[in-house]
Structure 1
Amino acid sequence: MPPQAIVMDLTEIYFEVVYPVFPYFHRPTLLRRVSRGEYATSRPLFASVLAMCALSSARVRDGALYTGKWDAASLQSPSSEELFRAAKEAIPHDAPLSQDFDYMRAYALLAIASIQYGDTPRMNYYIGLYQSFIAVGMLQNESNWPSGIGHVEVEERRRLFWSMYTLDVFSSIIWGGFARSREACFNVCYPAECDDEYFSDANPINTGNMHNAPSWVKGWNFVTDLYRILEHAVDRLGHLRNPVQRTPSVLGYIDQGSPRQTSVLTKIMNLYEQLPPVFKTTQPLTGRLERDLFGFQAANIAASLQLVRMVLFTTENSTVDQKCQIASEVINGFASVPVAYLRAISSPLLHHLAGIGSIMGSAFENGLTESSYRRVRSVLLDLANLLANLEVDLYCPAGTSDKLRAQVSRIDEFMKIQRSVDANSAVAGLTPWTHQASHELTSPGLHTQQRLAISEDSPQIHFPAELFENWSWAFDFN
């Protein structure tokens, strides 16, 4: 049993740096239960509270704190891994059969903590265990939820359900797995757009305690909308990632009338424009949760919008220029977010950026002209520079940016050889690259008209598959 003071501190930190994106607890209820030490006498609550503490502790270690009121060194004993192990061992092996909500919530928190550790297989393991709860209780339909649960638990269940849905879709995009969830099969309401302080079991949500000012939950629900759209794009993304199709096709029996990406994006942006202005600008963190919650939503919305655009353009066989344009907007968007948010979002942010790099890798599949390669190369080096900055501000394995630059260097070497072969063969129309100084790998600066003024009519250069065997390794944060 960790000291009560440590548990209380890590609980408050959870609400500062984790809750804005993963709001699995009703704040007044959890603070009251932890302050009373109720987790010491309830095994399910103990599991979920210690899983939450393990995640908070990992975020503290990874530099997520943005207020000066915490002594990070005093919060490292017990370690995050010790808290994780205590939570894991408190959960019975047949927990899904018990259908206890706190065990299910603990699995979700352990999955996110595994992302923080850079342990993708363990993340998938705990997402799978969480999904077993859904399967056993058929919890994808609210009518199957336990009768008699209070208003607070209903809202917590809705937040957990949709949050884990977005994590499922996110993981299928970033790590190339598959989404276990299908939104068309769900019958679960979105969380009510009401702040935690304004409802309880004794005071249910109604029009009387809904305020005229928007709740941060409105922005959070908008992100869920985006991931529901992403889910359908992921199906097409899977086919693009697997050029050798071993599963027999049944596409001839399925209606393929899915909307074009331009139509989807237009509708998404129309929804975005209807959001209150507070969700469109990331204000500096203040240390006041009621205000910072909106900044977190704005940052998450911006990142999710760009992820939708990247995936949609990729699945629609977009041009290299389109991919580069969107990737540049994503990178510049992250670079403009106050660094405190980036620290607080922590490891999931790095994997989000890794997803951009992986998607950009698809630009090489059908060959590139020299001018196209320059654009892709510029984006990749901009991404490497951003990652280099984050390696300083976030606790993550050093050298991630160096690995990406090394990949670019390998491709550069191939291009150099290819250019020499083409010159010897007297291929007409090729414009040789100017001499590249070594400093370009640290300061790309390839956005000027002079560098991009290369003939678009130059022949397609096709890259050998072995050149990209280590592409995923370059984005491995484990």
Structure 2
Amino acid sequence: MGRSEGSFKEWIHDQSDKDSASREPVTSATAEDSSAAEVAVQPTKLHFPFLPEKDLLTRWEDSIPGPEEPSYMLLMALCAVSSQTASLKAVFDSALIDGPPVHDSDLYFLEAVSKIPMRIAQSQDLDYLRSFGLLAVYSLRCGNHTDLHRYLGLYHALVAQHGFHDESRWPSDISLSDVDDRRRLFWCVYRLEIHSACVLGHVVRMPESQVFVLYPRITPAMEPETQAWTAGWDYITDLYRLLEYAMFSLRGCKNRKPILAGLLDRPSPTTLLDSLHRLKAAKPRILLADPDSAFQSNRCKYMAVEIICMETLVNIMALLYCQAPASEVMTVADNFLKEVAMVPLIMFRIASSQIVHQILGVGHMLCNASRYENGQYRLNPSAQFFLVPGKEELTQEDAEHGEKNVET
């Protein structure tokens, strides 16, 4: 049963009354305000497209679902992420966040969490998976690693329960567009987990070697901009898969029993670099198009920055695994610095913590490489800290990661 927009507003006001008197009353941003809908679209459109953009804009247009429905929990999780995005001013168009005060993202987050059932029935409803993915994104952005692991764990429990990691176990009667939606959802959370595993050092719960899911299709019916973005998104996913192997190779296993050592499927030192070079050589031509072409939208420009960061991160990790000369690592990092220096600040704000963590990761490895070979090489002073113009406007969590990862 649907829930009226009016009753949804009443619920929001009831919740806000329970909070401190200093908090402004919260109204339904996603249900009635088109600009708020655009704010909601951006994080899912750029970073984690858990559900189709059209569905995102129209599903809750006329009514709000009942509080016990998975769609309601998804809406609350989406509101939490979009409110968080607005509070960070992480939008390309500042007009979208002009007006009333930003809604409290924690209010939406706690409401979504309160709707997680004790037991989830045998349901193929993707809204549970989408909700857990969004709650994990929100937790990572907040720096709440306990909640991050909780919601990633709930996601993986459902994946195991329904065989979501294997397309052959999906319902046979779903449409091709539904198949593409499932594929994108699966790889969204995979990328989120590889990113957090790289930043936090935790285990990878769903290694790509156990995955039997293809990428979403690129069809002639798509707009050129959508084709370019989809090709870039798939390319970045390939980079994340290489990143997983780079992490696995660098970490290794220091206490493996001899009887099991021969079973360790670990790539040779040069295999990672060769794979990266082949991947870059086969980069879709649409990604090499004129940067001034018509389909270079904001999200495509943002994607180009993400590609630069991911390529560099994988490259340096592969070089370290190969025990390459420190000078070679420095050259890669120096070229990266020159490219990043030309990136507008808005791209870092849009990225929230994700790209910033990757940059700081490169800085951390650069510092390690500078100590390599008995200190033969020294960091260029300009590279001792990755200076992002206006970095004081980034999130507090980013600053904490900077203090932790970038050593001078």
TM-score with structure 2 setting the length: 0.82
Alignment correspondent of 1:268: 279
SS in 2 for 1:357: helix
Task: Please give the alpha-carbon distance, in whole angstroms, between the structure 2 residues aligned to 1:136 and 1:405.
Answer: 37
Question: What amino acid maps onto 1:380 in structure 2?
Answer: Q
Q: Given the alignment of the two structures, is residue 351 of structure 1 paired with residue 361 of structure 2, yes or no? A: no
For the residues of structure 1 that align with 2:379 and 2:143, how far apart are their CA atoms? 30
SS of 1:83's equivalent in the other structure is helix
Q: CA deviation at 1:365?
A: 6.5
Residue by residue over 1:20-69, the C-alpha shift from the partner in whole angstroms, topping out at 9 and shown as x without a partner, is: 22111212222111211243466201111111111111111112022132
In the alignment, which residue of structure 2 is the partner of 1:360? 366
**Larger radius of gyration between Structure 1 and Structure 2:** 1
Residues 6 and 116 from structure 1, CA distance in 2 versus in 1: closer, same or farther, beyond 3 angstroms?
same
Q: Tell me the equivalent position of 1:474.
A: none
Distance 1:13 1:403, change over 3 A: same
Unaligned 5+ runs, structure 2: 1-7, 13-26
Residue 251 in structure 1 maps to residue 264 in structure 2: no
Q: Runs of 5+ in structure 1 lacking a partner?
A: 195-206, 409-478
How far does the alpha carbon of each residue in 1:242-287 deviate from its partner, in whole angstroms, 9 at most, with x for none?
8xx2343533344656343442232122023744324x85x79xxx
Provide the aligned length of Structure 1 versus Structure 2. Answer: 379
Which one of 349, 370, 379 corresponds to residue 383 of structure 2?
Answer: 379
1:64 pairs with one of 85, 90, 108:
90
Is contact 2:236–2:310 with CA below 8 Å preserved after alignment?
A: yes
Matched position secondary structure for 1:70: helix
Give, as a single letter, the amino acid of the residue that structure 2 aligns with 1:251: A
Q: Take 1:192 and 1:378, find their aligned partners in 2: how far apart are those partners?
A: 43
Amino acid at match of 1:218: A
SS of 1:69 mapped into structure 2: helix
Amino acid at match of 2:70: P
Report the 3-state secondary structure (helix = DSSP H, G, I; strand = E; otherwise coil) of the residue aligned with 1:19. helix
Q: In the alignment, is residue 51 of structure 1 matched against residue 60 of structure 2? A: no
Query: For the residues of structure 2 that align with 1:36 and 1:134, how far apart are their CA atoms?
Result: 31
CA 1:313/1:110 → structure 2, altered by over 3 Å: closer, same or farther? same
Instruction: Tell me which amino acid in the other structure corresponds to 2:147.
Output: R
Q: 2:120 aligns to what?
A: 95
Q: Relative to structure 1, is the Cα distance of residues 132 and 72 closer, same or farther in structure 2, using a 3 angstrom cutoff?
A: farther
Q: Residue 230 of structure 1 aligns with which residue? A: 243
Q: Which residue of 1 aligns with 2:211?
A: 186
Question: Are the counterparts in 2 of residues 193 and 216 from structure 1 also a CA contact under 8 Å?
Answer: no
1:195-344 residue pairs with structure 2 within 5 A? 209-210=221-222, 214-239=227-252, 245-249=254-258, 250-254=260-264, 258=268, 259-272=270-283, 274-278=285-289, 281=291, 291-344=297-350
Q: 1:68 to 1:316 in 2, by over 3 A?
A: same
Contact persistence 1:61–1:72 (CA under 8 A):
no
- 2:191 aligned to 166, 178, 186, which one? 166
* Alpha-carbon distance in structure 1 between the residues aligned to 2:231 and 2:71: 28
Letter in 1 for 2:57: L
Aligned-pair distance for 1:368? 2.7
The CA distance in 2 between the partners of 1:407 and 1:162, in whole Å, is 33
Q: Which amino acid aligns with 2:120?
A: A
DSSP-derived class of the 2:75 partner = helix
**1:26–1:152 contact (8 Å) kept in structure 2:** no
Name the structure 1 match of 2:131: 106
Percent identity over the alignment is 24
Q: 1: distance between equivalents of 2:229 and 2:348?
A: 19
For the 8 Å contact 2:133–2:155, the answer to whether it is kept is yes
* CA distance, structure 1, for counterparts of residue 251 and residue 337 of structure 2: 24
Conservation of the 8 A alpha-carbon contact between 1:96 and 1:136: no
Match of 1:134 in 2: 159
3-state DSSP class of the match of 1:375? Answer: coil
